[in-house]
Structure 1
Amino acid sequence: MNLCSHNLPSSWFIYLHLLLILFTFKSTWFGRNTIASASGNETDQLALLKFKELIFIDPYGILDSWNSSTNFCNWGGVTCNPMHERIIQLNLQGYQLHGTISPLVANLSFLRVLDLGNNNFYGTIPQEFGRLLQLQGADLSNNTLHGEFPINMTSCFQLQELNLYGNNLIGKIPVQIGYLRKLQVLSVGRNNLTGQIPASIGNLSSLTHLFMGENNLEGEIPQEIGLLRNLTYLQVGENKLSGMLPSILFNMSSLITIAATLNQFNGSLPSNMFHNLPNLQAFGVGGNQISGPIPISITNASVLQLLDIGFNYFVGQVPNLGRLLDIEFIDLENNRLGSNSTNDFDFLEPLTNCSNLYLFSISYNNFGGYLPNFIGNLSTQLSQLYLGFNQISGQIPTELANLSNLTILSMGYNHFDGIIPTAFGKFREMQVLGLDGNMLSGVIPTSIGNLSKLFSLNLSQNMLEGNIPPSIGNCQKLQSIYLAQNKLTGPIPLEVFSLSSLTEFLDLSQNLFSGSLPDEIGRLKNIEKLDVSNNHLSGNIPGTIGECMSLEYLYLQGNSFNGVIPSSLSSLKGLQYLDLSRNQLSGSIPEGMQGIIILEYLNISFNKLDGEVPTEGVFQNSSWFFITGNSKLCGGISNLHLPPCPVNGRKLAKHHHFRKLTAVVVSVVALLLILSFSLIIYWMRKSKKRQSFDSRTINQLVKVSYQNLHNGTDGFSDRNLIGSGNFGFVYKGTLESEDKIVAIKVLNLQKKGAHESFIAECDALRNMRHRNLVKILTCCSSTDYKGQAFKALVFEYMTNGSLERWLHPEIENAQQSRTLNTAQRLSIITDVASAIHYLHYECEQPVIHCDLKPSNILLDDCLVAHVSDFGISKLLSSIGVSPKKTSTAGIKGTIGYAPPEYGISYEVSIEGDMYSFGILILEMLTGRRPTDEMFKDGQTLHNYVRISIPNHLSQIVDQTILSGKLEQVADNESMIFTDPNVKECLLSLFSIALACSVESPKQRMSMFVVIKELNLIRSSFFLV
């Protein structure tokens, strides 16, 4: 029988669906309701006790009151109907409960509100929840629940809010969702849902908020969505949706927000679409494939505040936006707008009426002609202006300097000529200035020194002349300077090398600089990339360059440097790329350069070097280093085909010399045998003791052989080296027993304390299980092929590396740089807090980590944080009892992260970890290491933040946060974002960090309070 052919009303389908549910649960539902009617109070109490049984971690003790000594209506999180004493609300939001959800919750037949959000529930959502027929609100957001959408919950016809945001749900959104006619809020975002948006969504006539973003939904938005006449918020961004945005969508006058970014939508937008959207405040379709002109009707969108159509294929001229008096955010970048003509900027003058505008981007388009002078009449609130990668020509208008609150000005890769206006010195709030890739001439104005807040300056690829003005030394926050490919002359001023803030890139290449590199170059201790190649520099390469301990890329080629290669380069253990070619260097290659383990490119071609070429490190692979043009080099690996080096010393001419030498050799050999025998006995005894200790320590870990690790890393090849630490090296590899990539930590047993570190890490990790701790898979305690002791630990491999790499990225080019937005940083902080809470309070034997820092926080492919490196951790028999001395004595953490009390006392503490956690948050939010050069003479990262908030928040926050499309500094004192909660989120996180990192251990915030505060921040920050 085909029910559809009879055109039955939809109420019949609901009735039939209800009958099906009744039949399915007839033996349990009716039976339980019978009990409830007789003794409903007891049923409710029993259901709660069963719920409690499945909770194995309750950090806040919210369930402590759930016992028979008090009435269940007075239990924590429970609200009863006072008349019948039946439970109507169960609210356990944000208590970090760990466990599964009992299906017996379905016996709370009077339940109206179920809020279990922001916990750590796992498992599936019980299908029995479909029996909660009076349920009006269900919030299970921000847990780790898996399985498919709970289809039986579509029988809860009274539901007004269903929030499943931020879990691991899979499968499709069921068509039965259409039965929830009273539903007002549906949030299923940030899951792994697939399939199409069901057309039955159109039956939800009461729906006001629909959140489906951050899934893997496909297909088109169904036309039936137009039936949702009360819909105000539509979020379907970050999916795989395709086709055209349904035209019916643009007739929904109730809509306030349309968020459809990062999908595969195509086609064009109807020219009249904004005529019927009088309440629209945010329209975001960036990152799709939409083409055609910008609808001319946008001039009627009088209350629009956010317009994001970037990264599409829009063409033509930009309409008049001058009537959008409330507009704050306009992103038109990466389209095909403009026609490279003089009238491309006709839309700009009306835009001067928009006094709230704080971000405006038209970069990566086809705008041409001159930039009109009235651009200086745009909103004084304007903070970010992006004009780069267009065809704009002429001189830079001096009037731009009227926009005194600009923090970011990007004008690169146009055809600007003339000089850099001296009036740019008025940009007292400027943080990023990009004028690269133009035809600017003249000198760099001395007024550049007025930009005291500047952290990135890019003037490369122009025709600038003269010297670098010494006033640049006033820009004490500069992190990167790009002046490459100009005609700059003279010596490099010492003021450049006084900028200890330089941490990213100093690029002075392809200019006409002369003179020598001064010893002051050693002041750039935190610089990662230094390029002075292809200039006229001469003299010796200063040995102080070895003090630039953070250097990863060093380019000195194409100059006239002479003398020897300084041996101090060998101390740059993080060096990956070194080019000394085309100079006049002499002498031999320093042997210590073999010890730069991660060096993967070395070019010393076309110099005057002599002597033997080393054979270890980078010199093992001829594709990694280049020595052409040094005719006096010898030796090296065989495929270099260099002549052998001459043997030193004279041949013995007389036979009695030979006999004399033989006697000496025999005596020495005899002595060595005696010493060796004694040492063997000593080490056998010591080894026996150590092995017994090892066996007690790692007997719970399945061991793997040295051969397996050797094969899985190509003989511990440098190609697989991914990091190094205090006690060894970490390799990327595979195991025969693991069908996946792993991380292998090999201990350097020659280093004092390495063996103890191995034991400490085994002790700490063997019994720990937590989603935010690095998982140990196996270990190896054996000997290598040379008969030497070998110890290694094998962990899960983390695709996204360490947090250190994300906070302080190596920027090979701008498009590949990695950044973390505010939401991601908040999630990582929460992950780390959860791990530390587990270590301190939930382990069978409490653990103090002792070395919490960004390099010990690893990120998986979903950017979930995992705390690692327990090499110096301490085990406590219980909280408040002195730690066991299982790790190396005297090692108490890393400078800057270790609390001040560790400097005067050996005893470590939970409060010490809290201090490190606070410093970690401060570094994540400011982008500054606690060892930054600016923190001297009593200044610390803690004090730097404490005196800066809240009034100077925008000046201390990591600028990669502020440069995001949805976030913006609005004025001198405050921050305004498209989501206003972001500023409050940052302030709250700073407050937590400061409370954790105060000097007095007793006054530091506990992790209990931290987690509660973080949950409050998450619930208010994330749009759900």
Structure 2
Amino acid sequence: MWFDTNNNTVAVAAILGNQTDHFALLKFKESISTDPYKTLESWNSSIHFCKWRGITCNPMHQRVIGLNLNKYQLHGSLSPHIGNLTFLRNLDLGNNSFYGEIPKELGKLLQLQYLFLSNNSFVGKIPTNLTYCSNLEYLIMDGNKLVGKIPIEIGSLKKLQVMSVYKNKLTGGIPSSIGNLSFVMQLDFVRNNLEGDIPQAICRLKNLTVLGVGENNLSGTPPSCLYNITSLTIFYMPINNFHGPLPVNMFHTLPNIKQFGIAGNHFSGPIPTSINASSSITLLDMADNNFVGQVPSLGKLKDLYHLNLEYNNLGNNSAKDLEFLKSFTNCTKLNVVSIYHNYFGGILPNSIGNLSTELNILYLDANMISGKIPAELGRLVGLISLSLESNQFEGIIPTTFEKFQKLQMLDLNANKLSGDIPHFIGNLSQLYYLDLHHNMFHGNIPSSIGNCQKLQYLDFSQNKLRGTIPLEVFNLFSLTNLLNLSHNSLSGSLPREVGLLKNIDVLDISENHLSCDIPRTIGECISLEYLYLQGNSFNGTIPSSFASLKGLRYLDLSRNRLSGSIPDVMQNISVLEYLNVSFNMLDGEVPTNGVFGNATQVEIIGNNKLCGGISQLHIPPCPIKGRKHTKHYKLRLIALIVSVVSFLLILSFIITMYWMRKRNQKRSFDSPTIDQLAKISYQELHHGTNGFSRTNLIGSGSFGFVYKANLVPEDHVVAVKVLNLQKKESHKSFIVECNALKNIRHRNLVKIMTCCSGTDYKGQEFKALVFDYMKNGSLEQWLHPEILNEEHPTTLGLGQRLNVIIDVADALHYLHQECEHLVLHCDLKPNNVLLDDDMVAHVSDFGIARLVLSIGGSSWKDTSSIGIKGTVGYAPPEYGMGSEVSTCGDMYNFGILMLEMLTGRRPTDEVFEDGQNLHNFVAISFPDNLMKILDPHIVSRDVEVAIQDGNRENLIIEECLVSLFRIGILCSMESPKERMNIADVTGELNKIKKAFLTGVHAHN
């Protein structure tokens, strides 16, 4: 009887338990709003719940012990009734679209061993109740949006073996209680916002094999005992703020280490020589730190496949710097080697050819390596990507390069290479990127280039090439990104076959000796957006077929011998943002619509027979045909005489007032003067610019003209800004800019050298400012290539744009917070950002800057004009309503500048109509549809290789873009109070740069 009673009790308990599980599962199903694969269709009364898809039951008690619905794209919240599945051991809901908070009821699952919630959209904090699940072995919550701190109570999970919270938004520090997890083998805290030190207690984890704390805000010097955890195989801590040297013998105590990644920190000192003892290392990434000295021998790392030492201070430009490359002979699995951007000098050893034929990527660029490129390099037949750019290599391209049958990218630009471009280049049929620009190659362009039918990017610019352009170049139908043959000595005509390049985006053949007519077939290049033909000897008329280029945004025809009129149909190119026809022999009436309706987008100087156009172009009106002196004409003549007389009276009054004020020696803040700035004579400037010749002209604008000058006897190349004194307020602008730039010094601000204030040879007043010459022109020319100088820019990559943004932000930080007196720039825009030889950005043009001084408890603003407050599109909306200038206004300028750099669109783009603007254009697509607004011309080696979806490194670069767009949006908010300040911006940008570099290094 006792047994019957007991069995009945068990039976009743089983029935009740089954009912509880059944009800909990139905409640779980109710919380699911989307089930695209119809996974839960089987969850009905027709079959027992133990047979439902994804359910595993205990065969004895028919209780649910497993719920596995991974990768079914379920969308919904997680029902708290899940906590009633008290026999549950395995809960796997990874790779779905669950949202909302993780229910605290999970803490009731005391038998739970495996919890997988990765790659969903859970929010809120990690429930402290989870620490009641004392049997938990796997806690996987990566790829969500969790916030708050890691619970201190996590240390109570004594059986925990794996914990991953990768890619969330967790804050606070790593709790010391983590040291109680004596069985833990893997800890992954990567890509959160954790801060503080790594706790000493982590050294108690003697079974730890994987430690990932990278991409947080952690700081300090990692505890030395960390390097004594002999079980470690993966040590991943990049993109933090760790500092200090690495222990000399650290690799002796890490015998099992396979992957060692510490890129993007502040580690310093030499690379430990003990690294050669870690024969198991496969990945070594120490990029973007402050390591110095020589690289030790790595020959014993026989399994090494990835080596990244980019962005350090390694080497000292000595002959021994590259000795370590000889030790790679034993590294037969080596796949990636990058020592980009260090101080390695000397000659590239012939032993480079002994590296593994498995090597795919070799980046030696941006160092000081000299001598000839060794022929032995051609033995590396497995190379896919080779970059030797920005070194001091000389001589010819070795003939052994013909063996690179797998090569897709070859970058040799900015060296001293000479000789002919070899004919065998056409045998490298897999090339999609070929850059030989800025060398000393001569001879003809080899016709064999036509065999490279996969080329998308071809740059032979800034060499000494001569002869005609071979027709085979125009049979490269694959060219979509760039064809740049500029700054050579090419002659002959531009063949009509140019029309075959239907998919080309950028075509640049400027600064050559090309002649004859511009072929009409160029109108068949239907994808063309940027076309540079300036600095040649083209004659004939401007082809009306240009109107067929519906996507054309920039067209430069300046400094040719074109004649005839400007075709009216060109005003129908709706997206054309810039047109330069300066210094030709054009005549006739200038159109007034389209691009011609904005004087800032059209350059027409040097065509004396042009007439008409909008008034802002300041060219004579066209003569009225067939009309004699009528009454109307006489009235106009009388009005003109009256105007002249009035002008003379006003001028007489101004001169009288001028001499009266000049007698008054007392200075006042209402009449600022140029403070003790060294002067230069008009004669010196006239001589240095060859009489202000048009060949020295490198820029123009409403202020006047900018010329390139060579001052003697210093033999110093400078830029001379000659002011247009006919323009209102130009005198005061001159004084303000002199005084502002005289008193400020920063690496990202343009340096004023001297000024000139006097008269020219005709006795007319002359004023000019002299600055350091910026070889790479303005940011405007790179974002929207409008070439007026001798150096032609190519498209800026994402990494370069990020560097420019940071440079401008640093300059603004200095002006707002580090100057003795606050300086408000008031006119940040691409035209006012100049780039030096190293592509470092310098903020310029302080003609309308405000110098805010504190005088007697009140402030005084030195400004060029009360009415001028910036440029349309860049000036904040409050300035248009009469508000005083402020730092918030500068931040708006900066935000719009950022968005323009990221989208490639000007704030005055014609697409912005009916209240639309650049800020709203971006905000609407942020953050889900960034590809719709991202400038398609951001072409960077950093992201040259296609990356598969879901790749961690790809996500890093995507999140960098999201962060950059977010800053641009916040800085350009309509309300000044909602905008970010410059201190917060610079802090965020530095984090973004570290993250970006990690993504780039990982790809490479």
- TM-score, L = length of structure 1: 0.64
Select 1:621's aligned residue among 566, 579, 598: 598
Letter in 2 for 1:823: D
1:735 to 1:626, Cα distance in 2 relative to 1, 3 A: closer
- SS of structure 1 residue aligned to 2:346: strand
| Aligned position for 1:242 | 219
Letter in 2 for 1:228: L
Contact preservation (8 Å) 1:322, 1:354: yes
Letter in 1 for 2:432: F
1:140 to 1:800, Cα distance in 2 relative to 1, 3 A: closer
- Displacement of 1:246: 2.5
- Displacement of 1:741: 4.9
Letter in 2 for 1:796: I
- Displacement of 1:201: 1.5
Alpha-carbon distance in structure 1 between the residues aligned to 2:454 and 2:932: 20
Letter in 2 for 1:412: E
Select 2:101's aligned residue among 87, 100, 124: 124
- SS of structure 2 residue aligned to 1:423: helix
Alpha-carbon distance in structure 2 between the residues aligned to 1:735 and 1:600: 18
Contact preservation (8 Å) 1:293, 1:317: yes
- Displacement of 1:377: 0.9
- Displacement of 1:811: 4.0
Alpha-carbon distance in structure 1 between the residues aligned to 2:49 and 2:138: 26
| Aligned position for 2:924 | 796
- SS of structure 2 residue aligned to 1:619: helix
Alpha-carbon distance in structure 2 between the residues aligned to 1:723 and 1:301: 47
1:598 to 1:329, Cα distance in 2 relative to 1, 3 A: same
| Aligned position for 1:142 | 119
Contact preservation (8 Å) 1:518, 1:542: yes
Deviations 1:677-697 (A, max 9, x none): xxxxxxxxxxxxxxxxxxxxx
Please say which of residues 543-552 and 795-804 is displaced more in the overlay.
Answer: 795-804
Letter in 1 for 2:611: C
Contact preservation (8 Å) 1:734, 1:741: no
- SS of structure 2 residue aligned to 1:582: coil
- Displacement of 1:70: 1.8
Please list, as runs of the form range in 1=range in 2, the aligned pairs for 1:538-687 lying within 5 A after superposition: 538-648=515-625
Deviations 1:524-552 (A, max 9, x none): 11111111111111111111111111112
Deviations 1:140-160 (A, max 9, x none): 111111111122111111110
| Aligned position for 1:823 | 949
Alpha-carbon distance in structure 1 between the residues aligned to 2:472 and 2:1000: 31
- Displacement of 1:364: 0.7
1:741 to 1:340, Cα distance in 2 relative to 1, 3 A: closer
1:392 to 1:445, Cα distance in 2 relative to 1, 3 A: same
Select 1:475's aligned residue among 440, 452, 473: 452
- Displacement of 1:828: 11
- Displacement of 1:796: 2.8
Letter in 2 for 1:287: G
Alpha-carbon distance in structure 2 between the residues aligned to 1:559 and 1:547: 22
Deviations 1:825-879 (A, max 9, x none): 89999xxxxxxxxxxxxxxxxxxxxxxxxxxxxx976999xxxxxxxxxxxxxxx
1:346 to 1:518, Cα distance in 2 relative to 1, 3 A: same
- Displacement of 1:734: 6.5
When the two chains are superposed, the root-mean-square deviation of aligned CA atoms in Å is: 3.3
Please list, as runs of the form range in 1=range in 2, the aligned pairs for 1:857-936 lying within 5 A after superposition: none
| Aligned position for 1:86 | 63
Please list, as runs of the form range in 1=range in 2, the aligned pairs for 1:234-633 lying within 5 A after superposition: 234-633=211-610
- Displacement of 1:601: 2.4
- SS of structure 2 residue aligned to 1:796: helix
Question: How many pairs were matched up?
Answer: 694
Contact preservation (8 Å) 1:733, 1:742: no
- Displacement of 1:812: 7.1
| Aligned position for 2:937 | 810
- SS of structure 2 residue aligned to 1:634: strand
Letter in 1 for 2:936: P
| Aligned position for 2:849 | none
Alpha-carbon distance in structure 2 between the residues aligned to 1:167 and 1:434: 40
1:175 to 1:218, Cα distance in 2 relative to 1, 3 A: same
In structure 1, stretches of 5+ residues that fail to align are 1-32, 654-710, 745-794, 830-858, 865-959, 969-1024
Contact preservation (8 Å) 1:732, 1:742: no
Deviations 1:48-90 (A, max 9, x none): 1111111122222221222223222111111111111111111
Contact preservation (8 Å) 2:925, 2:932: no
Alpha-carbon distance in structure 2 between the residues aligned to 1:741 and 1:403: 49
1:163 aligns with 2:140: yes
- SS of structure 2 residue aligned to 1:564: coil
| Sequence identity (%) | 56
- TM-score, L = length of structure 2: 0.65
Deviations 1:867-917 (A, max 9, x none): xxxxxxxxxxxxxxxxxxxxxxxxxxxxxxxxxxxxxxxxxxxxxxxxxxx
Contact preservation (8 Å) 1:741, 1:797: no
Alpha-carbon distance in structure 2 between the residues aligned to 1:219 and 1:826: 24
Letter in 2 for 1:316: G
| Aligned position for 1:979 | none
- Displacement of 1:34: 15
1:578 to 1:452, Cα distance in 2 relative to 1, 3 A: same
1:137 to 1:612, Cα distance in 2 relative to 1, 3 A: same
| Aligned position for 2:763 | none
Contact preservation (8 Å) 1:130, 1:154: yes
- SS of structure 1 residue aligned to 2:562: strand
Please say which of residues 624-633 and 104-113 is displaced more in the overlay.
Answer: 624-633
Letter in 2 for 1:94: K
Letter in 1 for 2:937: E
Please say which of residues 211-220 and 270-279 is displaced more in the overlay.
Answer: 211-220
- Displacement of 1:809: 3.2
Alpha-carbon distance in structure 2 between the residues aligned to 1:463 and 1:35: 92
1:97 to 1:72, Cα distance in 2 relative to 1, 3 A: same
- Displacement of 1:735: 8.0
- Displacement of 1:101: 0.8
Alpha-carbon distance in structure 2 between the residues aligned to 1:503 and 1:140: 43
- Displacement of 1:965: 4.1
- Displacement of 1:91: 0.9
Deviations 1:476-523 (A, max 9, x none): 111111111111100011111111111111111111100110000011
Letter in 1 for 2:65: I
Contact preservation (8 Å) 1:504, 1:811: no
1:176 aligns with 2:153: yes
Deviations 1:308-331 (A, max 9, x none): 111111110000100001101111
| Aligned position for 1:216 | 193
- SS of structure 1 residue aligned to 2:139: strand
Contact preservation (8 Å) 1:59, 1:96: yes
Alpha-carbon distance in structure 1 between the residues aligned to 2:135 and 2:913: 53
1:492 to 1:305, Cα distance in 2 relative to 1, 3 A: same
| Aligned position for 1:63 | 40
| Aligned position for 1:108 | 85
- SS of structure 2 residue aligned to 1:42: helix
| Aligned position for 2:839 | none
Letter in 1 for 2:494: L
- SS of structure 2 residue aligned to 1:464: strand
